[in-house]
């Protein structure tokens, strides 16, 4: 059973702080990892993806991947109230095949 | 550039009925995947179509079937609807490993 685990939250951080979202996965065949943001009642929106061990930065977002520990994280710097949403972590194998999603972490950024 | 388009946006059906959901992928994308998202859960993979063939299937019963047309658009059919089929149905398209683009979804309610 391929699983992606996330803490459901809510994770509450003050405006301007760093939000740290974590995800673990059980399938060592997973090669690529994706973070999606989903506002209530809306569809998931891709934030960023990561394939290689280490960090990948895109604006205020940094994804971190540790394949040995089967751990993926997303850091959001200078958190804004508009970042309040559910963040979904997903893992996939090589190629354009099925993604396995976690159940998401709800982030609340307090003004 | 139009993104992924899904129709209808909302649908109410009675138990035992059949439903067809439609998806037009983002321009340039040739792979379409369908996901089911129950309230408070992450999306669950139903199946993926590529070159008009079902390339991969998730753990869903045969009541769920699909089709991809030569223009890459796709349909999801669900027969003998159950109350438990009530969910947000998401279509995602891609052209290369790098993340999927999701449509806005179809909210199906079975009564």
Which residues of chain B make contact with A93, given a CB cutoff of 8 A? Answer: none
Between A and B, how many CB-CB pairs are < 8 A?
58
Statement: residue A93 has pLDDT above 80 = no
Q: Would you state the pLDDT for residue A30?
A: 84
HSE-up of A45 (CA within 13 Å, CB side)?
9
Q: Would you state the pLDDT for residue B98?
A: 59
Distance from CA of B16 to the nearest CA of A (A): 26
Pick from A43, A49, A101: CB nearest B42: A101
Which residues of chain B make contact with A45, given a CB cutoff of 8 A? Answer: 102
Cβ-in-10-Å burial (0-12, 13-18, 19+) of A9 comes to middle
Q: Would you state the pLDDT for residue A27?
A: 85
Our CA dihedral for A108, B108, A96, B5, rounded to 10 degrees, sits at -90
| Low pLDDT (below 70) residues in chain B | 1-2, 96-98
With CB atoms and an 8 Å threshold, state whether B99 touches A49. Answer: yes
Among A46, A27, A17, residue whose Cα is nearest residue B93: A46
Which residues of chain A make contact with B103, given a CB cutoff of 8 A? Answer: 43
Question: What mean pLDDT comes out for the span A99-110?
Answer: 96
Which residues of chain B make contact with A33, given a CB cutoff of 8 A? Answer: none
Q: Tens of pLDDT along A19-75?
A: 999 999 998 888 889 999 999 999 999 999 998 999 999 999 999 999 999 999 999
Q: Is B7 on the interface with A (CB under 8 A)?
A: no
Which residues of chain B make contact with A91, given a CB cutoff of 8 A? Answer: none
Q: Would you state the pLDDT for residue A2?
A: 64
Q: Would you state the pLDDT for residue A96?
A: 60
Statement: residue A94 has pLDDT above 70 = no
Phi, psi of A98 (to 5 degrees): -60, 140
Beta strands in chain B (DSSP E): 5-7, 10-13, 19-24, 31-37, 44-50, 53-57, 64-68, 74-78, 87-94, 101-102, 106-110
Q: Would you state the pLDDT for residue B1?
A: 57
Interface test with B, best of A31, A47, A74, A96 (most B CBs within 10 A): A96
- A95 band by pLDDT with thresholds 50, 70 and 90: low
Statement: residue A1 has pLDDT above 70 = no
Q: Is B55 on the interface with A (CB under 8 A)?
A: yes
């Amino acid at each position: 059973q391929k699983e992606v685990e996330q803490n459901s939250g809510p994770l509450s951080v003050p405006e301007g702080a760093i939000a740290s979202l974590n995800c673990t996965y059980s399938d060592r065949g997973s090669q690529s990892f994706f973070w999606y943001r989903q506002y209530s009642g809306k569809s998931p929106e891709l934030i960023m993806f990561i394939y290689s061990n280490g960090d990948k930065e895109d604006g205020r977002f940094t994804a971190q991947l540790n394949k040995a520990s089967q751990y993926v994280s997303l850091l959001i710097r200078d958190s804004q109230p508009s970042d309040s949403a559910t963040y979904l972590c997903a893992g996939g194998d090589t190629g354009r095949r099925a993604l396995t999603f976690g159940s998401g972490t709800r982030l609340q950024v307090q003004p | 550039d139009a993104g992924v388009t899904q129709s209808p946006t909302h649908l109410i059906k009675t138990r035992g009925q059949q439903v067809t959901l439609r998806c037009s992928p983002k321009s340039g994308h040739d792979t379409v995947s369908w996901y089911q998202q129950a309230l408070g859960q992450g999306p669950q993979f139903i199946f993926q179509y590529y070159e008009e063939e079902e390339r991969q299937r998730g753990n869903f019963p045969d009541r769920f079937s699909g089709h991809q047309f030569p223009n890459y658009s796709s349909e999801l059919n669900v027969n003998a609807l159950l109350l438990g089929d009530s969910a947000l149905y998401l279509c995602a398209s891609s052209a290369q490993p790098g993340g999927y683009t999701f449509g806005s979804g179809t909210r199906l309610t079975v009564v």
